[in-house]
Structure 1
Amino acid sequence: MFVLPPPPRYPVAGYPGAPGGGQLIETNNTITHPTGPEHQLVVGEGTYVLQDDLHLATPPPHPSEAPVHNPNPLATTVSPPTAGTKLSIVVVAPRQQSQSRLFRFDTARSQLPPSIQELPNESSSQASDSGSQSANGVANGSTAFPREGLHAPAFGSGNSALAVVNGKDSKDPLKRRKPKSNIVKSNSSFVSRVIPHEALTKRLQEHNPNGLFAFANVNRALQWLDLTSPTKEEHLTKILFTKAHALCHDVNQSTKGPSHVDMILGFSTGDIIWYEPMSQKYARINKNGAINNTPVSDIRWLPNSENLFLAAHMDGSLIVYDKEKEDAQFVAEDQEQVQPETEKQPRLMVKKSVNSKNQKFNPVSYWKTSNSKINSFAFSPDCRHLAVVSEDGSFRIIDFLKELLLHQFNSYYGGMMCVCWSPDGRYIVTGGQDDLVSIWSLEDSALVARCQGHNSWVTAVQFDPWRCDERNYRIGSVGEDCRLLLWDFSVGMLHRPRAASVRQRNSVTSATLKMQRTRTDGSATRLRSNSNLTSGSIVDEEEVVHPVEPRARTAMLPPVMTKKVDEHPLCWLGFEEDCIMASCSNGHILTYDRPKEGAGSDAAPSTASASASNA
């Protein structure tokens, strides 16, 4: 059967008003099913086969933002911020844990910190799936630890001013609140066009509750997709915005259901949209930059919160918003407590605390980490800590419940681009402009290993919880070199010294860290060998900023698999129970099926040990 090729992604004639301009062409999504060895990922446990390549149609520029042609090749005009295609995955129905998953919940004999262990009377079968999160420490499609085992208090639980919504108590706490405005009928200049599927109601009725919904940004468009539908290339809803580009988005796992999904989007204009796709309702927050007028680089719902979410702005600000509160012109509070950055010891600059009694309007809380752009952040599985990476190469660990900076590390060189937590909260992985994936130990507050294999910036990192247990971890990373890399990291490698150096106390860098601090401080009495942040301890002041670990003293971990999977830079990675997904800056979404046999075997731990011995 002869199949016509897809139409061109952009019209040849240009934009209206341009010389020779004509009508803009709106293209549709396309899907292909490439086959062959070049579309397979060969790992120790088996072969991951490319299921399909979904290509999202890139919308043409809006007529009001005609592209400016600058013939000067050396021009330094700052281009507006944009982001590659990223996905927010959600399963509207809870799912029981799969038996094929390597990561086990019977952690009574493991060394997991008590703050993230399960309750004694709680079994693993009671753990239900709370959906997926994109680009944070918890893998898509599952929750690493059941919420019943978390003992962290809610953010702002001690502030009575946060107990009411818009100044009044909720009449029906069980009823999900929805935004007020209909986005399809909206006359706002912010929204250009909304294109629902002609059979949207029917497709929602036919949707498998255990199937995957996905929200994907591409240029100035947001698409709502059903990834388990036979016609997954046909969007459920496409929203075209006038000038703003959606840079980040997230789905609330606490409020999701078969008839309700809360989603937030951060834009290049600084605006934030609260969107409920089932009812096509939306609300606009930080309108026209009322609170902060810089672009939103990353956005996440606060753990276990129905209303509060955290947005990272490109001026180095972290702001907690309430989806139901109105905006007000922001004026910093407690200015006399703000510490200048010129002082020796950095602090988290709190411009408005969550404990403030002035909570009638947004923001709920306002923090400033530095003047450098924040690239990404992630919440820890124990819902206490926040990992933040910035363009200036800094990596911070913040106790966001106490609004306190605990640790600050720095990259070897260049900015840090992405961050995620291990499912048990013991390790943090970062990727940066130094082309390295770095593994950090939270318990020892130190760098464990560097993973070398990328040829360009690392744009996304993620743990695969289905290939993890108490001692072995599977890490995935993608970068601007168009490559997907898989790494197996074993706790056993921490005891294996590199070169002639000697390690102590089960930490690959504790001895090195002690030596460095001894040289720096000149006194061994000021040293601490073990700082367990997950148990809530507060570090000494001199331990907030940690020196850069020399590359010669750090273990190097080789990848167990490396593959160029696309012709465009990759920007997102996600793990599902039955597949691996990745997306690129040009709108391609790649789905690789997991090996059919051996998924529950011990192949991963043995592979991890083999890779560790090569480090």
Structure 2
Amino acid sequence: MIVLPPPPRYPPTGQQHGLPPGTPMPMIETNNVLTNPSGPEYQFLVGEGLYVLKEDLHIATPPPHPSEIPISNPNPLSTTPQPATAGTKLTLLNLDVSPFAPGVLRTGTRSEGTQSSGQEHTDEGQSSTDPRESSSDAGRISSVDVAGFKTPVFGESNALLAPAPQKDPTKRRKPKNNLTKSNSSFISRVIHHDSFNKRLQDRPRDGLFAFVNINRAFQWLDLSSPTKAEYLTKILFTKAHCLCHDVNRVTKSPTHIDLIMGFSTGEIIWWEPVTQRYTRLNKNGIINGSPVSHIEWIPGSEHLFLAAHMDGTLVVYDKEKEDVVFVPEDDGSKPNSRTSADTSRASRPNYSTQIHVQKSVHSKNQKTNPVAVWKLSNHRINAFAFSPDNRHLAVVSEDGTLRILDFLEEKLLDLYYSYYGGFTCVCWSPDGKYVVTGGQDDLISIWCPSESPALIARGQGHHSWVTSVAFDPWRCDEHSYRFGSVGEDRRICLWDFSVGMLHRPRAASVRQRGSISSRPGAPPLVGSNSDESGRLRSDSDLSTATTGNGDGKDKVLPHPVAPRATTAMLPPVLSKIVDNDVLCWLGFTPDAILTSCKNGHIRTWTRPTELAQQLEEA
């Protein structure tokens, strides 16, 4: 009698786990690999000179946790639900850079980089204190000095959000739970470098740290080390995939780093990597159970951060507060909240005209998380970005909308539509004048919210969805701008634009018609007028984009979709395939451009030698 061997423990290929088709599934954990490819295919030429690939750091993709084994199904058309995956994204940190350094630049100062379940330990929600290098108003900064003027901090007017005074103001709060000794089922393994403490002491202060996620793994790297492939810390999670993360530039010091991570389960971890302590927030989705697509610390705050959930909700959390089951509040004092007159429409709020404030930052109930909750849409929020003056928030969604919010006042200021499909990424120019978005229409869109029409130009250079956009602050000045983008076409595009050089097509002879991206609820392209140059202009702008509805609320009129015939088209100064897999992140440093792909490759492209020297000296 012949006995058949047991089936393999893991599927033979990694396609079900987000790897390219045909890629063998790794059976064991592997180490990071650093290579130095050379040749003409690993360089690209731009106007300022030749960019050359310096190194390719391949972050090891962890095998799936045994509990993630998919159920075999002979139906080839079936799909097996898997945790959401965001590819490989980085958060760069330089401890030697001031958190309030200005971001305007060709000869400006340096920036720190760009921005991409079960039974638990009983005290995972607590916090403790630890000595710190400097103090700042009992854990909070009252205002931020940006471009020479003071910007209020979010929630500053609500005294209930002020942290309790500490006996010793030189101590900084930190998470209480020990990561290496945790018995949480959420964390599978934690691996430290053998000489962890020595490497932290011996490294240069101005060296660059990188925090990297790939599937269910998260790594802390020292990019200033000659052995940068060796991680300082590697965390493996159970089932959950880390989708986004951010470092608090306000609280950073050689002895303290506050980092937050958002997961595919909706949970959030506040981690202090120097002391290896952590706290879990939104545990088991107690506040919001949908995955966290984007997360950032609120500018100027030491303890508040903003998380975008995939159900279309923005939630403000406090790293030091306990979580409770969230029940939306009715606060008639807020212009964008529900009132008694809205009860008939409460179940179906109009997200195209206002935001739905389910809990205001001015609420009297601030003993627990969440601090504030804003429902923007029923569709996934893909990304958001804070303006350089820390007053406005740009949010892009799967429903193809760009929203400009005054997050200090919790108000929707403007709403714009994509040409087609959803928006996937967004960033502000260093001077705060322009917003750049990328989307599923393979286009780059440049917006100026203070002008009408707001759409300045569209950039056409990608052959698939755009996944990340970022300005190069070292190549921007008062008159011209440089930004980059990467996409699922494995291509990097670099763009130069100056508003005075953009020419819109004359549309006087073009028959006006609706765009193919018009969707239910979007206003048709009627009621527009023409300016002296013959181009179509919307009637609504920042000053006239709201209208009263008789109940004390202001509703925003969405701007119509600008047809291609009336929009300037911007060609890239560079368009080149630079990887073998889908690109998902882009960042700029004084001496290089960094890209990452979903397969874990982080590539560093050095700037032209003369240009790099000029930027280092600036």
TM-score where L is the length of structure 2: 0.81
In the alignment, the residues of structure 2 paired with residue 547 and residue 318 of structure 1 have an alpha-carbon distance, to the nearest angstrom, of 25
> For residue 558 of structure 2, what is the aligned residue in structure 1?
545
Give the deviation of 1:310 after TM superposition. Answer: 0.2
Give the deviation of 1:342 after TM superposition. Answer: 5.6
Matching residue within 443, 454, 460 for 2:462: 454
In the alignment, the residues of structure 1 paired with residue 365 and residue 243 of structure 2 have an alpha-carbon distance, to the nearest angstrom, of 30
Q: Is the 8 A contact 2:468 2:584 kept in 1?
A: yes
Equivalent runs, 1:462-473 vs 2, <5 Å:
462-473=470-481
Aligned residue type for 2:112: G
Cα deviations across residues 59-94 of structure 1 (Å, max 9, x unaligned)?
Answer: 111112213333323224443311100000001122
Q: Is the 8 A contact 1:376 1:390 kept in 2?
A: yes
SS at match of 1:189: coil
Give the deviation of 1:343 after TM superposition. Answer: 4.7
| Gap change, CA 1:407 and 1:600, over 3 Å in 2 | farther
> For residue 394 of structure 1, what is the aligned residue in structure 2?
401
Matching residue within 485, 489, 496 for 1:488: 496
> For residue 112 of structure 2, what is the aligned residue in structure 1?
131
In the alignment, the residues of structure 1 paired with residue 103 and residue 430 of structure 2 have an alpha-carbon distance, to the nearest angstrom, of 16
Q: Is the 8 A contact 1:376 1:389 kept in 2?
A: yes
| Gap change, CA 1:321 and 1:500, over 3 Å in 2 | closer
Q: Is the 8 A contact 1:45 1:599 kept in 2?
A: no
Identity of aligned residues (%): 59
Equivalent runs, 1:247-326 vs 2, <5 Å:
247-326=243-322
Cα deviations across residues 351-384 of structure 1 (Å, max 9, x unaligned)?
Answer: 0000001100000000100110000000000101
In the alignment, the residues of structure 1 paired with residue 441 and residue 201 of structure 2 have an alpha-carbon distance, to the nearest angstrom, of 48
Q: Does 1:162 align with 2:169?
A: no
SS at match of 2:501: helix
Q: Is the 8 A contact 1:405 1:544 kept in 2?
A: no
Q: Does 1:353 align with 2:360?
A: yes
> For residue 372 of structure 1, what is the aligned residue in structure 2?
379
> For residue 550 of structure 2, what is the aligned residue in structure 1?
none
Q: Is the 8 A contact 1:104 1:470 kept in 2?
A: no
Q: Is the 8 A contact 2:470 2:484 kept in 1?
A: yes
In the alignment, the residues of structure 2 paired with residue 188 and residue 97 of structure 1 have an alpha-carbon distance, to the nearest angstrom, of 37
| Gap change, CA 1:407 and 1:296, over 3 Å in 2 | same
Give the deviation of 1:133 after TM superposition. Answer: 4.2
> For residue 449 of structure 2, what is the aligned residue in structure 1?
442
> For residue 229 of structure 1, what is the aligned residue in structure 2?
225
Aligned residue type for 1:518: G
Give the deviation of 1:516 after TM superposition. Answer: 5.4
SS at match of 1:288: helix
Aligned residue type for 2:66: P
In the alignment, the residues of structure 1 paired with residue 262 and residue 242 of structure 2 have an alpha-carbon distance, to the nearest angstrom, of 6
SS at match of 1:469: coil
In the alignment, the residues of structure 2 paired with residue 439 and residue 177 of structure 1 have an alpha-carbon distance, to the nearest angstrom, of 41
Q: Is the 8 A contact 1:95 1:210 kept in 2?
A: no
Aligned residue type for 2:450: E
| Gap change, CA 1:98 and 1:77, over 3 Å in 2 | closer
Q: Is the 8 A contact 2:353 2:556 kept in 1?
A: no
In the alignment, the residues of structure 2 paired with residue 218 and residue 436 of structure 1 have an alpha-carbon distance, to the nearest angstrom, of 27
Q: Does 1:245 align with 2:266?
A: no
TM-score where L is the length of structure 1: 0.81
Give the deviation of 1:307 after TM superposition. Answer: 0.1
Q: Is the 8 A contact 2:540 2:557 kept in 1?
A: no
Cα deviations across residues 294-324 of structure 1 (Å, max 9, x unaligned)?
Answer: 1100000000110000000010010000000
Cα deviations across residues 174-203 of structure 1 (Å, max 9, x unaligned)?
Answer: 422110001011011011000000011111
| Gap change, CA 1:425 and 1:16, over 3 Å in 2 | closer
Q: Does 1:57 align with 2:60?
A: yes
| Gap change, CA 1:287 and 1:102, over 3 Å in 2 | closer
SS at match of 1:466: helix
Q: Does 1:44 align with 2:25?
A: no
> For residue 407 of structure 1, what is the aligned residue in structure 2?
414
| Gap change, CA 1:501 and 1:298, over 3 Å in 2 | same
Q: Does 1:576 align with 2:599?
A: no
SS at match of 2:220: strand
> For residue 610 of structure 1, what is the aligned residue in structure 2?
none
Give the deviation of 1:517 after TM superposition. Answer: 6.1
> For residue 195 of structure 1, what is the aligned residue in structure 2?
191
In the alignment, the residues of structure 1 paired with residue 353 and residue 328 of structure 2 have an alpha-carbon distance, to the nearest angstrom, of 19
Moved more, 343-352 or 575-584: 343-352
SS at match of 1:203: helix
Equivalent runs, 1:497-508 vs 2, <5 Å:
497-499=504-506
Aligned residue type for 1:243: K
Q: Is the 8 A contact 1:103 1:470 kept in 2?
A: no
Aligned residue type for 1:157: E
Moved more, 592-601 or 403-412: 592-601
In the alignment, the residues of structure 2 paired with residue 372 and residue 361 of structure 1 have an alpha-carbon distance, to the nearest angstrom, of 27
Cα deviations across residues 501-527 of structure 1 (Å, max 9, x unaligned)?
Answer: 69xxxxxxxxxxxx9563499xxxx98
Matching residue within 527, 534, 548 for 1:518: 527
Equivalent runs, 1:38-187 vs 2, <5 Å:
38-94=41-97, 102-103=105-106, 131-135=112-116, 147=146, 149-164=148-163, 168-187=164-183
SS at match of 2:610: coil
Q: Is the 8 A contact 2:316 2:373 kept in 1?
A: yes
Q: Is the 8 A contact 1:93 1:258 kept in 2?
A: no
Moved more, 181-190 or 147-156: 147-156
Cα deviations across residues 108-140 of structure 1 (Å, max 9, x unaligned)?
Answer: xxxxxxxxxxxxxxxxxxx7x5733424xxxxx
Q: Which runs of 5+ in 1 are unaligned?
A: 1-12, 106-126, 136-144, 503-514, 603-615
In the alignment, the residues of structure 2 paired with residue 99 and residue 268 of structure 1 have an alpha-carbon distance, to the nearest angstrom, of 34
Cα deviations across residues 223-275 of structure 1 (Å, max 9, x unaligned)?
Answer: 00001110000000000011110000000000011111100000001110000
SS at match of 1:152: strand
SS at match of 2:150: coil
Aligned residue type for 1:485: C
| Gap change, CA 1:17 and 1:554, over 3 Å in 2 | closer
Moved more, 434-443 or 330-339: 330-339
Matching residue within 363, 366, 369 for 1:362: 369
Cα deviations across residues 310-343 of structure 1 (Å, max 9, x unaligned)?
Answer: 0000100100000000001111101774364465
Give the deviation of 1:37 after TM superposition. Answer: 1.1
Q: Does 1:29 align with 2:37?
A: no
- In terms of fraction of residues, the more helix-rich structure is 1
> For residue 605 of structure 1, what is the aligned residue in structure 2?
none
Q: Is the 8 A contact 1:133 1:250 kept in 2?
A: no
- In terms of fraction of residues, the more strand-rich structure is 2
In the alignment, the residues of structure 2 paired with residue 383 and residue 587 of structure 1 have an alpha-carbon distance, to the nearest angstrom, of 32
Give the deviation of 1:97 after TM superposition. Answer: 12
Q: Does 1:588 align with 2:571?
A: no
Moved more, 592-601 or 245-254: 592-601
| Gap change, CA 1:497 and 1:67, over 3 Å in 2 | closer
Aligned residue type for 1:268: S
Q: Which runs of 5+ in 2 are unaligned?
A: 1-6, 13-24, 117-143, 510-523, 531-536, 548-553
Over the aligned positions, Cα root-mean-square deviation in angstroms equals: 3.0
SS at match of 1:518: coil
In the alignment, the residues of structure 2 paired with residue 583 and residue 23 of structure 1 have an alpha-carbon distance, to the nearest angstrom, of 20
Cα deviations across residues 2-40 of structure 1 (Å, max 9, x unaligned)?
Answer: xxxxxxxxxxx953799xxx9942210001101111111
How many residue pairs are counted as aligned between the two chains? 532
